[in-house]
Amino acid sequence: MKTDPMIVALVPMRHHSVRVPGKNYRPLAGKPLFHHILSALLQTPEIGRVVVDTDSPVLMEGISRDFPQVTLLERPAHLTADTVPMNEILMYDTEQVAADFYLQTHSTNPLLRPQTISKAIQTFLSHYPAYDSLFSVTRLQTRLWDGLARPINHNPAILLRTQDLPPVYEENSCMYIFTRQTLAQRRNRIGERPYLFEMDPLEARDIDEEFDFLLADLLMRQRLQAESGRED
């Protein structure tokens, strides 16, 4: 009898943030930022366990209180510096928690919906092992240039409409699905044969700067208002 694979969601969260101070626990649309992604992951039926890796006493206290079903991993001191690559943190996490597959995301993706997470997992499982990993992307159809004013994805002598340009894809950092084997062999979440999972640009908004936080707050409030209106 075939059993469903064990999928663990990994959510690394630092206490310290340079560009947006305290962003992981700062209120967004009436709740601490980390609430949004944890709620989405816990509503995703394919995910068997949600794990947060953090060095933050504030996050540990808040998650223990509000999300007791989430597993907490205290990040070791040698992995807490801003210069430590994410892949090294994930190597530590996957050593602590066994799974068939890991899905990694961030608290800075608060607009990510459970339905989209489910679709990404189902897409990956239906294509595995032909594709050994998955990462989410945002489609770009605009005229791109490099720093030396050389066209990247278009011929300036042929002025195509932007919607007719061949698309390029931005890695949006919303989701990565991988095995520990891929991570250990390549020291990378992205394998040799990754599947590019395209997402809606608004849902893929990531919080890097203060402006991103304000925009995500506005978009989440609009979403909640629309959902409340449908329920009335």
Is residue 69 domain-resident?
A: yes
Is residue 164 domain-resident?
A: no
Closest Cα to residue 118, out of 39, 205, 41?
41
**Token output for 20:** 């947006």
The CATH number of the domain holding residue 59 is: 3.90.550.10
Is residue 146 domain-resident?
A: no
Is residue 149 domain-resident?
A: no
Residues 80 and 94: their CA atoms lie apart, in Å, by 17
pLDDT at 18: 77
Total domains in the fold of the chain: 1
Is residue 87 domain-resident?
A: yes
Range of the domain at 190: 7-137+169-231
Please give the chain's pLDDT, 232 residues, in tens: 557 899 999 999 999 887 888 999 999 999 999 999 999 999 999 999 999 999 999 999 999 999 999 999 999 999 999 889 999 999 999 999 999 999 999 999 999 999 999 999 999 999 999 999 999 999 999 999 999 999 999 999 999 999 999 899 999 999 999 999 999 999 999 999 999 999 999 999 999 999 999 999 999 999 999 998 876 5
